[in-house]
Amino acid sequence: MKLISINSGYFKLDGGAMFGVVPKRMWQKLNAPDENNLCTWAMRCLLIDTGDRKILVDTGIGTKQDPKFRSHFIPWGQDVFLQDLSAKGYRAEDITDVLLTHLHFDHVGGAIQLNAQGKPEPTFPNARYWSNPLHFAWAEHPNPREAASFLKENLIPLRDWGLLEMIDPSDKDVEWLPKIRLRFVNGHSEAMMLPIIDTPDGTVVYCADLIPSAWHVRMPYIMAYDVRPLETLKEKNRLLEEAVEGNYTLLFEHDPECESGRVERDEKGGIGLK
């Protein structure tokens, strides 16, 4: 099994929204905002090559959104997504599965592209796309707080094309494929899925938006975007405790600088990066 980081570009989000209740005087030392209080964030995908299957976890924001949408998030580097995949020895046609941790636009947008005629088509034509029924229903009929994050053009075509597969949610980790478990978490959004991958070098967790960056390892650092922040707190604490005991490697989807890390307990009992 090989795990390969794939760059799908960068975008900007409000620093206060990303760092929640943490005061700006603290978080601005970590990720400096621009004059509009926007900070730069990565959209880091993961390719899992099992030999028989080439699994892409998340797809970034994509390139099909209009200028008005782009003006809000100032994305750049999306055009390198397939180039980076190619540079690492893979073609879009090689991807057999696309696991969508959740259906916010910055995680699913790259699953669909526009062809030369301006018509939507699957970016990975030979892949099955994976979600779960709880989250898909949540995304198809969103609450007002999350509605701007769920774009119909990112979701409905995958279903209508017959490319979407559903994984049954559980309150326990689900074995999706050999050596790959899925954990369903509900703090950030309903039934977001975290891949937990057992490799010869140890357990690796793709943290998605539970712990979007290395800075968010700290317990109070919870995004204002989360629909159930206290649930996020519990879910993050559970994962970090396991990561200390099991020496897990955590992969950070949105950190603009730090791709991954391991955590340890300090002399005060807190948990932070090694």
DSSP secondary structure, 199-246, as one string? ETTEEEEE-TTTS-SGGGGSTT---TT-S-HHHHHHHHHHHHHHHHHH
Q: Tens digit of pLDDT for each residue in 246-274? A: 999 999 999 999 999 999 998 888 899 98
Range of the domain at 240: 2-273
Q: How many angstroms separate the CA atoms of 270 and 274, rounded?
A: 12
138 pLDDT exceeds 90?
Answer: yes
Backbone dihedral angles phi then psi of residue 73, each to the nearest 5 degrees = -120, -10
Token pair of 29, please? 């030392």
Q: Tens digit of pLDDT for each residue in 113-131? A: 999 899 999 999 999 999 9
CATH number at residue 85: 3.60.15.10
Q: What is the pLDDT of residue 78?
A: 83
Contact (CB, 8 A) for 80 and 87: no
Contact (CB, 8 A) for 119 and 73: no
Q: What is the pLDDT of residue 248?
A: 98
Q: For the chain, what is the domain count? A: 1
Q: What is the pLDDT of residue 35?
A: 96
Share of the chain above pLDDT 70, in %: 100
Task: Give 119's DSSP letter.
Answer: -
Strands 54-57 and 38-49: antiparallel
Q: Tokens 């028989």 correspond to what residue? A: 52
Q: What is the pLDDT of residue 62?
A: 93
Q: What is the pLDDT of residue 221?
A: 97
The whole-angstrom distance between residue 267's C-alpha and the CA centroid of its chain comes to 31
Q: What is the pLDDT of residue 269?
A: 84
Q: What is the pLDDT of residue 80?
A: 86
Tell me the whole-structure pTM to 2 decimals. Answer: 0.96
Q: What is the pLDDT of residue 253?
A: 98
Token pair of 139, please? 């995304």
Strands 128-131 and 164-166: parallel
Q: What is the pLDDT of residue 149?
A: 96
Q: Band of the pLDDT at 192, cuts 50, 70, 90?
A: very high
Q: What is the pLDDT of residue 42?
A: 97
Q: Tens digit of pLDDT for each residue in 47-99? A: 999 999 999 999 999 999 888 888 889 988 888 899 999 999 999 999 999 99
Strands 54-57 and 97-99: parallel
Q: How many angstroms separate the CA atoms of 209 and 19, rounded?
A: 12
